[in-house]
Structure 1
Amino acid sequence: MAIGVLALLGFQLVDSAFIARLGTAPLAAQSFTYPLSFLIIGIQVGLGIAIAALVSRALGAGEEARARRLGSLVLLAGTSVIALLALLLWAVQGPVFAGLGADPASRELIRAYWAPQLLAAWLGAALYFGYSLFRAHGDTRLPGKMMVVTSLVNLVLDPLLIFGIGPWGGLGLPGAAWATAIAFSCGLLVLGRRLRRTGWLARDGLSAEWRLSARPFVGIAAPAMIGQLMPPLAAMLAISVVAALGEAPVAAWGLASRLESVSLMVVLAMTMSLPPWLGRCYGAGDWEQVRRLMRLALRVVVLWQLGLGLVLALLSPSVALVLSGNPEVRDDLAMLIRCLLPSYAALGVCMLVVSAGNALGWPLRAMLMSAARLFVFYLPCLWIGAWLGSLTGLALGAALGNLLAGLAAWQVLRRVLASPRRRRPIVA
């Protein structure tokens, strides 16, 4: 899963690196779309958490027929929800991007990019729901491989569709979105064929299963989605602060956001692969195994993220040079890397604890923890830092917010695992 996440997030970083060659204006325009793209991702991750939790718990309890029915229901519901969200975001794009601080020239660039980007987001969500079903059944190999394959397809198509080849001109900024859409379509074709062979889906008894499972599904999905919606909201508020500093800081912040996702690949892989395992332990009542898993996962996250963050901070000028050719953007990006990357060790702790909470039967507490990370620690520290010292102060404030959030999440996890309560099964 770590290899797959690296490939998946790596091609998003590659998109931004290619777009940076088009100029600062297209890169800044793409950066304004990140919060809304994260909004879609937040919804799909929340639904994916519910998929993995319910299906893995059913399998842990030996209810294989029920797991098949749940798999069919959540795939249908998830793709429908994301389609409706994409249509809504297309309809409200004008006032939303204006509210984020995009000027008329940036909004014109965004308008041509937004439709194919929303299509790519819907295709990516459908693919993610399929991955969630495979992870719930304990198969992380196929999702990992498919992430690599779609990444390679995107990598080949990006320069062809953005810049063109020979006498054929490229599509510019929209070409990046079309490359992603085609790559995800290829992944869906392969995943659909594999799902038909597995026997993990059912056609009969779906109505009765929906009446039985709608409440526990919403009980997990709603807090998880709210928790996943908070980072996009925080990203919107953060980029509105950065937008007041100028076009180059916005472009640098967008590249730093992409680099953040790639640098958190191990954490993201764990938040995808660990909850199904925890869900099975939850279903079997094996809390000692839960404790061992969480101790190991937290050690890996802290050591990996801290080591990677320090290395990238030392290499920040070279990394910024690779990602951006604009000297002003490059200097801002190098500063952001030095300030932010080491703090992702604490951010990873918080992300892992929130993910575990959804699998272990306390989704509301996980949602509140996610809210506290963003609105009690991250954003206040970011705003204070920006007020004190422009972009550098903003970056240092964001790093301090990550550190405080990680410490708070660790304390919550210690208290919960010290005396876990017996939970009722997912079916009354």
Structure 2
Amino acid sequence: MRITKLLYHFRHALQGDYDNYTAGSIRQAIFYLAVPMILEMIMESLFAIVDIFFVGKLGVNAVATVGLTESVVTIVYSIGVGFSMAATAVISRRVGEKRLDKAAAAAFQVIVLGAIFSLTISISGYIYGGTVLELMGASPAVLSEGTRYTQIIFAGNISIMLLFIINGAFRGAGNAAIAMRTLWLANGINIVLDPLLIFGIGNIPGMGIEGAAWATTIGRSIGVLFQLYHLVKGSTRINITAQAVKLRWNTVKNIIKISSGGMGQFLIDSASWIFLTRIVSEFGSVALAGYTIAFRVVMFTLLPAWGLSNAAATMVGQNLGAKLPERAEKSVWYTARYNVYFLGFVSVLFLFTADIFVSWFSADEAVVAAGATALKIFCLGYIFFAFGMVIVQAFNGAGDTRTPTIINLGVLWVFQLPLSYLLAIQYNLGEMGVFITIAISHSLHALVSLWVFRKGKWKNMKV
């Protein structure tokens, strides 16, 4: 009976049949949000794994190109995630207040803002793609092979930006199933196009690493069209009608205020990853390739965990909007517990099988050894990561993006970057110094976030 009941709820979660997250069972509400959110992020993480799987067959330089480009493109992700946080916080609050017209208006404002930002990045990124790789320490071989890849990824960043933003709006409204279908469509297309465009088919020659960039851009662009269709069609709680298509400066200022904290939060995080990648690049392409593969494998597990954490953001936003702060807090503790179960299992798995996972993406023994070492060290902090990411999303769902920004600045820049440099360069631990620092600093980040969360000031945020 329990299995039958679970399958029943699972099916309805996929269909998006739950529409009241401010009453009834908290566990059931989390389940109906978390299932599509986790599946959404599983496809996103699968995209990253498949991408590096095919690119890995082109050689170490191709993998290094993806690693260097991705570390800089995380700045685009940061801006997109910042706007996405604002969309989730504002829209979930309006939905909790039962003001759906205001939720639709907010969605339009954040989409326009995201599109404006992405155009600037597209132009500058396309022009200076090669310079970006050079500044990141790329070798002449990597520059020759990878510049075109970097240019295409930057030029098509509007698809990345809008995917983040609109899915954040869907999640805030509780329409997690639509967000899930968008990612499955976009990344499913990328997975199909990847081998076709990289290696070619029949008499059609492959494009090499440039093909991977085109596959990503095409897949995500189709995903954005799918999102816009549902927004205009009115098949979700957010229906952008003619009345919503109007700039509202008070809403714009509110979104900029929240998203600026989110951008700062993730820009600090992204910049720290860029510096860490730069330090690893000092030890050669093998170390960089191993680090890149390990990071992709880590994201394969952390992204589903972020999906579960996103459920906490929606629950917090909607319940604060409905004037139910205690229900919002209980939702966070439940979600954190489930996340610990998941990442605890993954950490044990990686400790014993890291070399097997890394060997799927490279036949080079030196790369496998470097990647396996990185993966084993990273997962030592997984239990702390599990708590930390849920707490951070709770802050963001409440509209308090400033607190995680301050924590990121203190832990990731003031603590992590100097320590990684000291261990890797000054104490001659090489890339191992960077790997150890990542595990330590993100564990510390979780503990600090938990301490601040328990003070409860986030419950009084006005959005």
TM range (shorter): over 0.9
Q: 1:80 to 1:41 in 2, by over 3 A?
A: same
Deviations 1:124-148 (A, max 9, x none): 3222322122212211112112222
CA distance in 2, matches of 1:33, 1:391: 19
- How far is 1:118 from its partner? 2.1
Q: Which residue of 2 aligns with 1:173?
A: 209
The 5-angstrom pairing of residues 111-190 of structure 1 reads 111-190=147-226
CA distance in 1, matches of 2:152, 2:189: 17
For residue 437 of structure 2, the aligned residue among 374, 394, 397 is: 397
The 5-angstrom pairing of residues 57-68 of structure 1 reads 57-68=93-104
- 3-state SS, counterpart of residue 454 of structure 2: helix
Q: Which residue of 2 aligns with 1:315?
A: 353
Q: 1:79 to 1:274 in 2, by over 3 A?
A: farther
Once the two structures are overlaid, the 10-residue window that deviates more, 195-204 or 404-413, is 195-204
- How far is 1:420 from its partner? 5.9
Q: 1:423 to 1:226 in 2, by over 3 A?
A: closer
- How far is 1:423 from its partner? 4.1
The number of residue pairs the alignment matches comes to 422
- How far is 1:421 from its partner? 5.8
Q: Which residue of 2 aligns with 1:56?
A: 92
| Residue 302 in structure 1 maps to residue 340 in structure 2 | yes
- 3-state SS, counterpart of residue 62 of structure 1: coil
Taking structure 2 as the reference length, the TM-score comes to 0.86
Letter matched to residue 243 of structure 2: D
For residue 105 of structure 1, the aligned residue among 102, 121, 141 is: 141
Deviations 1:162-204 (A, max 9, x none): 1112232200001111111221233233222222221611333
Q: Which residue of 1 aligns with 2:38?
A: 2
Contact 2:94/2:100 (<8 A) preserved:
yes
Letter matched to residue 200 of structure 1: N
Taking structure 1 as the reference length, the TM-score comes to 0.93
- 3-state SS, counterpart of residue 315 of structure 1: helix
Q: 1:268 to 1:320 in 2, by over 3 A?
A: same
| Residue 254 in structure 1 maps to residue 254 in structure 2 | no
Q: 1:104 to 1:300 in 2, by over 3 A?
A: same
CA distance in 1, matches of 2:383, 2:76: 25
Q: Which residue of 2 aligns with 1:406?
A: 446
Q: Which residue of 2 aligns with 1:203?
A: 242
- 3-state SS, counterpart of residue 207 of structure 2: coil
Deviations 1:191-243 (A, max 9, x none): 22222221611333655x62222222122011111111112211111111111
Q: Which residue of 2 aligns with 1:373?
A: 411
Letter matched to residue 240 of structure 2: L
- 3-state SS, counterpart of residue 460 of structure 2: coil
CA distance in 1, matches of 2:394, 2:150: 34
Q: Which residue of 2 aligns with 1:220?
A: 258
Give the CA RMSD over aligned residues.
1.9
CA distance in 2, matches of 1:420, 1:3: 28
Once the two structures are overlaid, the 10-residue window that deviates more, 342-351 or 198-207, is 198-207
- How far is 1:253 from its partner? 1.2
The 5-angstrom pairing of residues 339-378 of structure 1 reads 339-378=377-416
User: Runs of at least 4 residues of structure 1 off by over 4 A?
Assistant: none
Deviations 1:112-133 (A, max 9, x none): 1123212443213222322122
* % identical aligned pairs: 22
| Residue 191 in structure 1 maps to residue 227 in structure 2 | yes
CA distance in 2, matches of 1:421, 1:291: 8
CA distance in 2, matches of 1:58, 1:26: 46
Q: Which residue of 2 aligns with 1:273?
A: 311
Letter matched to residue 133 of structure 1: A
- Gapped regions of structure 1 (runs ≥ 5): none
Once the two structures are overlaid, the 10-residue window that deviates more, 324-333 or 92-101, is 92-101
Q: Which residue of 1 aligns with 2:21?
A: none
Once the two structures are overlaid, the 10-residue window that deviates more, 41-50 or 5-14, is 5-14
Q: Which residue of 2 aligns with 1:38?
A: 74
Once the two structures are overlaid, the 10-residue window that deviates more, 330-339 or 399-408, is 399-408
- 3-state SS, counterpart of residue 360 of structure 2: helix
Contact 1:234/1:374 (<8 A) preserved:
yes
- How far is 1:380 from its partner? 3.2
Q: 1:330 to 1:197 in 2, by over 3 A?
A: same
CA distance in 2, matches of 1:99, 1:152: 33
